[in-house]
Amino acid sequence: MPFVTDGGAREVAMMLVAYPWLILLAAGWVVGSVFVGAVGGATRGVQGFFVWTLAALMFSPLLAMLGLIGVLLGDLVREIEIKAIHGPDELPLPPPPPPSARRGSGRFAHLAGDDE
């Protein structure tokens, strides 16, 4: 295989033109990885975006997407199991925020309508 550093830039360019499916495969791999990262980021936050994008780039976007679907289904099953055990009416409510958290303070408090 010719290398660009050996003066084989012309040969490398010709190889890329001769094998357009290779370019399409690489582009699809990257686009698929970004898609998997976007789904992982939407469900797991910024760290999830980077973790799932890296996993898709290293292995395969399809394999990473199957893993992500498995994780999301596991979350869904766990949520259904919790509601099935406790019932929706028996789930404890989250505690109310402290009074200091409700009152706006700081630089942008006037935007929240807390002009005192």
CA distance 13 to 7: 12
Split into its structural domains, the chain has a count of: 1
Q: What is the pLDDT of residue 2?
A: 52
Q: In whole angstroms, what is the distance from residue 54 CA to residue 63 CA?
A: 12
Query: Cα 91 from chain centroid?
Result: 29
Any domain includes 111: no
In a domain, 60, yes or no: yes
Residue 90 has a pLDDT of: 63
The verdict on residue 103 lying in a domain is no
pLDDT per residue as tens digits for the range 53-99: 999 999 888 888 898 888 888 888 887 776 666 666 666 677 776 66
For the whole model, what pTM was predicted? 0.52
Asked if residue 101 is part of any domain, the answer here is no
Query: Which are the contacts of 70, defined by CB distance < 8 A and separation ≥ 6?
Result: none
Most confident of 2-6, 25-29, 74-78: 25-29
Asked whether residue 30 is domain-assigned, the answer is yes
* 102 located within any domain: no
Residue 22 pLDDT? 82
| Separation in Å, CA 96 to CA 32, 93, 99, 103 | 42, 9, 9, 13
Residue 69 lies in a domain: yes
CA dist 80 and 92 (Å) reads: 15
Look up the domain containing 42 and give its range: 4-90
Is 77 in contact with 65 (CB distance < 8 Å)?
A: no
72 in any annotated domain: yes
